[in-house]
């Protein structure tokens, strides 16, 4: 699919696609990072209560919408479509970036090693965590 496109065309598509998905992706990265440490939930003994904005923005991950008044209906489909489009855009821009890395780099072996490490390190961490349980 991408083999017939020039590197200049790939760079332009990569540039604009990346810019299009970056804002929503950054939102998910930032809010997901505080959720990783459960900073969006209060403790049972109320020694920690998250700031309201943190709890509200975290709800986007779990309910695909901001919290509403009790009983108010929310239509989730438009937001889900936006997230799906962002996901497709992210997959495309990552794919284009990897293709460009191979086409531009003089050191293809280093590109392979970096890709391998990017996949292997998280997998090893997960396996290590499972082994320590």
Q: What share of the chain has pLDDT > 70, as a percent?
A: 91
Give yes or no for residue 17 having a pLDDT over 90: yes
Global pTM? 0.76
pLDDT in tens, 89-132: 999 999 999 999 999 999 999 999 999 999 999 999 999 999 99
Is residue 67 pLDDT above 90, yes or no?
no
pLDDT, position 62: 75
- What mean pLDDT do residues 29-41 have? 90
**Distance between CA atoms of 26 and 90, rounded to whole angstroms?**
12
Query: What is the residue-averaged pLDDT of the chain?
Result: 88
How confident is the model over 49-63, as pLDDT tens digits?
999 889 888 888 777
Residue 59: CA count within 13 A, CB half-sphere: 12
Question: What number of CA atoms fall less than 13 Å from residue 20's CA on the CB side?
Answer: 17
Asked whether the beta carbons of 76 and 63 are under 8 A apart, the reply is: yes
pLDDT, residue 66, reads 67
| Contact between residue 21 and residue 93 where contact means Cβ atoms under 8 Å apart | yes
The confidence score (pLDDT) of residue 80 equals 85
Alpha-carbon gap, residue 76 to 86, rounded angstroms: 15
For residues 53 and 39, the answer to whether their CB atoms sit within 8 Å is no
Distance of alpha carbon 121 from alpha carbon 132, whole angstroms: 16
């Amino acid at each position: 699919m991408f083999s017939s496109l020039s590197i200049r065309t790939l760079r332009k598509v990569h540039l604009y696609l990346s810019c299009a998905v970056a804002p929503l992706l950054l939102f998910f990265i930032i809010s997901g990072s505080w959720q990783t440490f459960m900073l969006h939930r209060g403790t049972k003994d109320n020694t920690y209560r998250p700031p309201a904005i943190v709890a509200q923005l975290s709800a986007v991950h779990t309910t695909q919408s901001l919290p509403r008044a009790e009983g108010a209906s929310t239509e989730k489909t438009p937001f889900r479509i936006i997230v799906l489009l962002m996901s497709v855009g992210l997959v495309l821009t990552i794919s284009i970036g990897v293709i460009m890395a191979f086409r531009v780099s003089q050191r293809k072996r280093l590109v392979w090693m970096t890709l391998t490490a990017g996949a292997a390190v998280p997998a090893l961490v997960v396996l290590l965590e499972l082994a320590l349980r």
